[in-house]
Structure 1
Amino acid sequence: MNTLTWLLKREYWEHKGSFLRAPVILAIVMVAVTVLTVGFGIGSSDSPFRRLLTGTLQGQALVPGALKGVADVLAMLSLVGTLPLLLMLTATTFFYCLGALYDERRDRSILFWKSLPLSDTHTVLSKAITVTIVAPLIVIGVSTATSVLLVLFAGVIAALNGVNVFGALLTNPIILLAPLRALGMLPVYLIWALPTVGWLLMVSAWARSKVFLWAVGVPVIALVLVKWIAYVLGAGHAALTLMETVVARILFGLVPGSWLGGEASAMDGRGGQITIERVSSLLSESWTSLATPGVWVGAVAGMAMLYAAIRLRRFRDEG
């Protein structure tokens, strides 16, 4: 356990710029741009934020129940505003997995690490845990802080325009429960990401060069071939559907919320529409997505590919 903990620290310090500094810088930029845009645009009658605040007033009196509506809208906007952080998480973890085992062979540092009493199993597992647990936890923390800052700045701007929404905002369940819901979805994210993490690490341990082309090109070409065969023969639609599912699982499993685009979101016909009710039910929908057998088949396949990555790292140490 101490060895694995040390390896996790090593991965964090070696990639601190990607996992911590980049999200923090992006969050600062988003908050600054949002504050400047809203702050300077509030004076315009066409400003959406000004129209939102104007709708809460009748003369100088507050419209009954309007503050809760404003708080809900601002809370939703603060959550939506963190989406760029999730996109950055996807890109960062994807390319981290591609280079995790390939780069150490390319620069020959694998010879140094293998001279230490570190097993291939611990090394590969540390990289998988970094991608599926450590990096998401960092982004959850940064996104939570970003949402709080966005809400506070929105409350200050609203107060300067005669509307005090701090009480409604600071007691809004969307804001208060967002971090807990994100943490509750982390196990679901781990299970859904296993096929992608396993595939990318396996390719990273195997490919001699052009890791990205091997990792993305092979499944895409396989999908194109299956589509072509299905088109020529006029049959094989079941195989095509299966192939599309496989390619989606091994290429897009690191996208947070990718499971909500499938069976879970189709159950009630709401699709991807963002509403207060939908945000409140995201956690239950996420766990419901684990009820399908295909999820667990993919997770087992991901673990098998992780084992293959461990074996490949053990015997493939050329530069």
Structure 2
Amino acid sequence: MKAFIALVRREFIEHKGAFLYGPLLLVILLFGATVLAFTVGRVDARFSGAMFTVAPLRIYELGFLGFGVAWSLYLTGTLFFYCADGFAADKRNNSMLFWKSMPVSDFKMLLSKLTAAVTILPGTVFAVALLSGLLLYGVAFVTTMINGTGSFTALGNIAVVYGHVGLAILVTIVCGLLWYLPFMALVGALATAIGRWAIPVSLLLPSIVAMLEWVTLGGLHPFSTHTWDYLGYRTTFTLVEDGYVDVWFIGKEPFNAISYTTDLIARMDWPQVGIGVVFALICLYVASEYRRRSNVNG
């Protein structure tokens, strides 16, 4: 178990540039640009503070939720590049024999990489997302104080919004990771054989499968097949459409993370999530066998 934890920690150390330093740099640049804009007069603090007094909580909610969406998109893209790079790193840097000497199997070695991809690496980005929301609220509170309309009561209300939106972002990230787990495992499994070309090849495979179905079973065209329809459903994480978010957005009630979480969990296709977990484990097993046999033959 200690060896497995050490492997997961290794993944964080080797990729903290993309999952920690990069996001922190973006937050620092954004915060610095915001402060500079107020300092040099590019933004009227009194006008901004007046805006926050019209519907302050809604503006705070929309701002933080916008940050959450942006960080979720960043995390999704970065994780797929991580899978293409991390699963092939041992072979690429000629350290395969060293890691093979550890008291873990090839399957556990690859499982540690996937575990890092769904735990510590997203957790780091989530922490940075919380920091960006905290800085956003700090700027909003300062502008209202400059405007003369701010109060510590408003700061308390902001804290409540911060907690609700932060919880919603966390739940969304967890559900998104579960939903896209099989695709990350597929990219990682392909990377053990073909390295960083795993991403374009993984995008090509569905087209090949849809083409084969079209040729064998018929249809209007390769993009009008059961395979393509299923992949279109399975690759789109639009579980919040026509749900709580739409109702909240057109209403006047404060954002409620419990209602959002309940709605999201109820709308998740959990059998598909289970199928995805099984598929991911199969991908890792096949990749580990290839890794083990190629090491022996090499």
Verify: 1:80 aligned to 2:66, yes or no: yes
SS at match of 2:44: coil
Give the equivalent residue in structure 2 for 1:92. 78
SS at match of 1:131: helix
Q: Distance in 2 between matches of 1:203 and 1:81?
A: 32
Verify: 1:242 aligned to 2:225, yes or no: no
Give the equivalent residue in structure 2 for 1:302. 280
Query: Residues 301 and 273 from structure 1, CA distance in 2 versus in 1: closer, same or farther, beyond 3 angstroms?
Result: farther
SS at match of 2:150: coil
Give the equivalent residue in structure 2 for 1:265. 241
Verify: 1:159 aligned to 2:159, yes or no: no
Give the equivalent residue in structure 1 for 2:201. 214
Q: CA RMSD in A?
A: 3.3
Query: Residues 85 and 236 from structure 1, CA distance in 2 versus in 1: closer, same or farther, beyond 3 angstroms?
Result: closer
Indicate which of 96, 109, 120 corresponds to 1:123: 109
Q: How many angstroms does 1:232 deviate by?
A: 4.7
Q: Is the 8 A contact 2:191 2:198 kept in 1?
A: yes
Q: In the alignment, residue 34 of structure 1 is paired with which amino acid?
A: T
Q: In the alignment, residue 7 of structure 1 is paired with which amino acid?
A: L
Q: Distance in 1 between matches of 2:254 and 2:214?
A: 38
Q: Distance in 2 between matches of 1:6 and 1:268?
A: 40
Identity, % of aligned positions: 25
Q: How many angstroms does 1:138 deviate by?
A: 0.9
Q: How many angstroms does 1:237 deviate by?
A: 4.9
Indicate which of 170, 175, 178 corresponds to 2:162: 175
Q: Is the 8 A contact 1:133 1:190 kept in 2?
A: no
Q: Distance in 1 between matches of 2:157 and 2:183?
A: 38
Verify: 1:311 aligned to 2:289, yes or no: yes
Of 97-106 and 128-137, more deviation after overlay is shown by 97-106
Q: Distance in 2 between matches of 1:182 and 1:76?
A: 12
**Residue by residue, what CA displacement relative to the aligned partner does 1:6-31 show, whole Å, maximum 9, x if unpaired?**
11121111112112111111111222
**Residue by residue, what CA displacement relative to the aligned partner does 1:189-218 show, whole Å, maximum 9, x if unpaired?**
342132112111111122267333322222
Q: How many angstroms does 1:166 deviate by?
A: 4.2
**Residue by residue, what CA displacement relative to the aligned partner does 1:51-71 show, whole Å, maximum 9, x if unpaired?**
515xx4xxxxxxxxx5xx313
Query: Residues 38 and 81 from structure 1, CA distance in 2 versus in 1: closer, same or farther, beyond 3 angstroms?
Result: farther
Q: Distance in 2 between matches of 1:91 and 1:242?
A: 22
Q: In the alignment, residue 246 of structure 2 is paired with which amino acid?
A: R
Q: Distance in 2 between matches of 1:268 and 1:75?
A: 14
Q: Which runs of 5+ in 1 are unaligned?
A: 57-65, 249-257
Of 178-187 and 198-207, more deviation after overlay is shown by 178-187
Q: In the alignment, residue 105 of structure 2 is paired with which amino acid?
A: S
Q: In the alignment, residue 313 of structure 1 is paired with which amino acid?
A: R
Give the equivalent residue in structure 2 for 1:19. 19
Give the equivalent residue in structure 2 for 1:282. 260
Q: How many angstroms does 1:108 deviate by?
A: 2.2
Q: In the alignment, residue 43 of structure 1 is paired with which amino acid?
A: D
Give the equivalent residue in structure 2 for 1:230. 219
Q: Which runs of 5+ in 2 are unaligned?
A: none
Tell me the TM-score normalised to structure 1 length: 0.77
Q: State how many pairs are aligned.
A: 291
Query: Residues 85 and 210 from structure 1, CA distance in 2 versus in 1: closer, same or farther, beyond 3 angstroms?
Result: same
